[in-house]
């Protein structure tokens, strides 16, 4: 990188432009095209992975950053399906994150875009603010005002981005706060830290509670350090590098003295970012080594349960389950077999595969708010494929996917139970009736 002259960078500044060597790995074979959701939707070369890489190359060769270039990069969901599909091992994940940080620094957004992004980032990475919204949202839902507003179609016409936010809001349920330590049931096999997340913590507290119960039942002391905050996933996926680095440092600090062997996460998007902290903080002399050590401890909940092996008895659940691969679990972390093995180990569960399983559901962090139309089309496509499995319950491991898919399935007039993987395991370990899962809505 040192020999790149700033005057030759074109679209990019000298601070980590898209890596030329990584770009050169692309041999233009096109194997990634059929798995790219935006290429599937529009059939445009520049909205394929190969096209976006070509634009990065053009930018490095001196082409200034244009609105059209940015539009094609913005259209990317960051689903990393192309990383899985690429036979040449092109690191599109690293390249698009380098590019997004450049766009954020060097491309002026319109006042409307700025306002929407400011609103999103003033809310989502702040667990306290999200929790504070629970009361007013519950009131809206209990009085039915949210449904009436949706029926008028007014919000959809006037502010489609806000309408998408409203549509995706889950039903707010009661939740008791988690203690700082949930002790292992029986003999202790591991001490693990648990990341509670922003959206997961505020809107899916039941998933966090189930995660702690399952880990404890499997012999883990579960340490839940206070003051964790956001892991930085949304920021890093949207080019807000400095903000993401600040959040990452805070997470590392929160777990530094917790004395845990592993840090467990139950949200796929957060997990892939936590596993990339070493790269995110590589230029920070105080945190680079800490980030590397931290990254080595991170495990998705399915990985740690698979590594430990089961000791808690599984009671039967008579259910047909469709498992949806969250992109940031399957494509970004390579975690595919473990969740399926955990589900298959529950007596009574019949597991069904979803057609086009590698294609994103359209959630992609805040993509479904920033780009509601393509996200809706992808959600509808995913919902049709899920319903076609004939399953009683859809299971996945990411809050964003649950919200997106639930909204699309409901809009198509179908009813399906919706659950996180740990909620299924929790129900089996506790001997609960499968009916709770069959009728579980979001």
User: CA 339 to CA 323: how far, in whole Å?
Assistant: 8
Closest listed residue to residue 294, CA positions, set 247, 338, 330, 349: 247
Does 381 bind ligand SF4 (CB under 6 A)? Our answer is no
Among 36, 265, 406, 437, binds ligand SF4 (CB under 6 A): 36
Closest listed residue to residue 48, CA positions, set 79, 22, 12, 11: 79
Beta bridge pairs of residue 194:
264
- Please choose, out of 31-39, 187-195, 302-310, 424-432, the segment that lies near ligand SF4 by the rule CB under 6 A: 31-39
User: CA 437 to CA 434: how far, in whole Å?
Assistant: 5
Closest listed residue to residue 163, CA positions, set 400, 375, 387, 417: 375
β-pair type (393-396, 298-300): unpaired
Minimal distance, residue 42 CB to ligand SF4, in Å: 11
Does 170 bind ligand SF4 (CB under 6 A)? Our answer is no
Question: Phi/psi of residue 226, each to 5°?
Answer: -75, 165
HEC letters along 356-388: CCCCCCCCCCCHHHHCHHHHHHHHHHHHHHHHH
> In the numeric block, which tokens belong to residue 435?
């009916």
R_g of the chain computed on alpha carbons:
21
By beta-carbon proximity to ligand SF4, the closer residue of 75 and 196 is: 75
Minimal distance, residue 67 CB to ligand SF4, in Å: 19
Does 136 bind ligand SF4 (CB under 6 A)? Our answer is no
Q: Collapsing DSSP states into helix, strand and coil, what is residue 341?
A: helix
Does 31 bind ligand SF4 (CB under 6 A)? Our answer is yes
Does 27 bind ligand SF4 (CB under 6 A)? Our answer is yes
By beta-carbon proximity to ligand SF4, the closer residue of 90 and 207 is: 90
Does 80 bind ligand SF4 (CB under 6 A)? Our answer is yes
Cα separation values, 184 from 108, 175, 196, 301, Å: 52, 22, 18, 16
By beta-carbon proximity to ligand SF4, the closer residue of 29 and 132 is: 29
Among 22, 26, 322, 393, binds ligand SF4 (CB under 6 A): 26
- Please choose, out of 24-32, 117-125, 149-157, 312-320, the segment that lies near ligand SF4 by the rule CB under 6 A: 24-32
User: CA 24 to CA 15: how far, in whole Å?
Assistant: 19
Q: Are 307 and 299 in contact (CB under 8 A)?
A: yes
Among 82, 280, 330, 409, binds ligand SF4 (CB under 6 A): 82
- Please choose, out of 36-44, 230-238, 394-402, 432-440, the segment that lies near ligand SF4 by the rule CB under 6 A: 36-44
User: CA 99 to CA 11: how far, in whole Å?
Assistant: 10
Q: Which residue has the tokens 């233009």?
A: 28
Among 90, 349, 406, 416, binds ligand SF4 (CB under 6 A): 90
Among 88, 143, 171, 412, binds ligand SF4 (CB under 6 A): 88
Among 29, 122, 159, 411, binds ligand SF4 (CB under 6 A): 29
Size of the site for ligand SF4 (CB under 6 A): 26
Does 328 bind ligand SF4 (CB under 6 A)? Our answer is no
Residue 431 sits at the vertex; the CA angle it makes with 429 and 433, to the nearest 5 degrees, is 130
Q: Collapsing DSSP states into helix, strand and coil, what is residue 82?
A: helix
Instruction: Quote the strand ranges of 96-255, DSSP E.
Output: 181-182, 190-194, 220-223
Question: Phi/psi of residue 223, each to 5°?
Answer: -100, 125
Q: Which of residues 59-78 bind ligand SF4 (CB under 6 A)?
A: 76-78
Minimal distance, residue 330 CB to ligand SF4, in Å: 12
Does 28 bind ligand SF4 (CB under 6 A)? Our answer is yes
Q: Collapsing DSSP states into helix, strand and coil, what is residue 415?
A: coil
By beta-carbon proximity to ligand SF4, the closer residue of 28 and 112 is: 28
- Please choose, out of 26-34, 180-188, 255-263, 400-408, the segment that lies near ligand SF4 by the rule CB under 6 A: 26-34
Any idea what DSSP says for residue 393? Answer: E
Q: Which of residues 265-294 bind ligand SF4 (CB under 6 A)?
A: none
By beta-carbon proximity to ligand SF4, the closer residue of 354 and 364 is: 364
Does 430 bind ligand SF4 (CB under 6 A)? Our answer is no
Minimal distance, residue 235 CB to ligand SF4, in Å: 18
Minimal distance, residue 355 CB to ligand SF4, in Å: 18
By beta-carbon proximity to ligand SF4, the closer residue of 29 and 115 is: 29
Q: Which of residues 39-58 bind ligand SF4 (CB under 6 A)?
A: 49-50, 52
Beta bridge pairs of residue 264:
194, 299
Which helix (H) or strand (E) segment holds residue 276: the answer is none
Minimal distance, residue 31 CB to ligand SF4, in Å: 4
Q: Which residues bind ligand SF4 (CB under 6 A)?
A: 26-32, 35-38, 49-50, 52, 76-82, 85-86, 88, 90, 92
């Amino acid at each position: 990188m040192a020999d790149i002259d700033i005057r030759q960078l074109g679209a990019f500044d000298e601070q980590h432009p898209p890596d030329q060597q990584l770009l050169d790995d692309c041999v233009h074979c096109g194997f990634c095209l059929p798995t790219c959701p935006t290429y599937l939707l529009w059939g445009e070369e520049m909205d394929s992975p190969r096209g976006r890489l070509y634009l990065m190359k053009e930018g490095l060769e001196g082409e200034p950053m244009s609105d059209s270039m940015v539009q094609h990069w913005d259209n990317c969901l960051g689903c990393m399906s192309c990383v899985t599909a690429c036979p040449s091992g092109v690191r599109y994940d690293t390249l698009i994150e380098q590019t997004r940080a450049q766009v954020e620094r060097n491309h002026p957004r319109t006042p409307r875009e700025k306002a929407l992004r400011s609103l999103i980032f003033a809310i989502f990475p702040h667990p306290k603010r999200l929790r504070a919204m629970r009361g007013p949202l519950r009131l809206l839902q209990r009085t039915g005002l949210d449904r009436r507003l949706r029926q008028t179609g007014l919000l959809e016409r006037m502010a489609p981005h806000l309408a998408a936010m409203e549509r995706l809001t889950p039903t707010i349920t009661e939740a008791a706060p988690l203690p700082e330590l949930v002790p292992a049931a029986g003999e202790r096999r591991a001490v693990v830290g648990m990341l509670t997340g922003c959206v997961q913590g505020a809107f899916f507290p039941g998933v966090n509670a189930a995660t702690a119960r399952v880990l404890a039942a499997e012999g883990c002391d579960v340490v839940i350090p206070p003051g964790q905050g956001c892991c930085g996933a949304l920021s890093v996926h949207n080019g807000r590098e400095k903000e993401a680095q600040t959040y990452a440092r805070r997470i590392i600090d929160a777990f530094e003295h917790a004395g845990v062997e592993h840090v467990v996460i139950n949200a796929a998007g957060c997990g892939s970012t936590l596993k990339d902290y070493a790269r995110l903080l590589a230029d920070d002399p105080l945190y680079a080594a800490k980030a590397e050590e931290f990254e080595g401890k991170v495990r998705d909940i399915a990985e740690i349960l698979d590594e430990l092996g089961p000791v808690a008895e599984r009671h039967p659940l008579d259910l047909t389950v469709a498992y949806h691969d969250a992109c940031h679990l399957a494509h970004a972390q390579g975690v595919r077999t473990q969740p399926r093995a955990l589900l298959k180990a529950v007596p009574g569960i019949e597991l069904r595969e979803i057609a086009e399983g590698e294609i994103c559901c359209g959630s992609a962090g805040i993509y479904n708010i920033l780009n509601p139309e393509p996200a809706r089309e992808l959600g509808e496509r995913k919902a049709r494929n899920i319903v076609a499995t004939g399953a009683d319950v859809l299971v996945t491991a990411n809050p964003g996917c649950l919200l997106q898919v639930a909204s699309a399935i409901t809009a198509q007039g179908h009813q399906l139970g919706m659950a996180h993987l740990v909620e299924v395991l929790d129900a089996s370990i506790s001997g609960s009736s499968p009916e709770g899962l069959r009728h579980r809505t979001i």
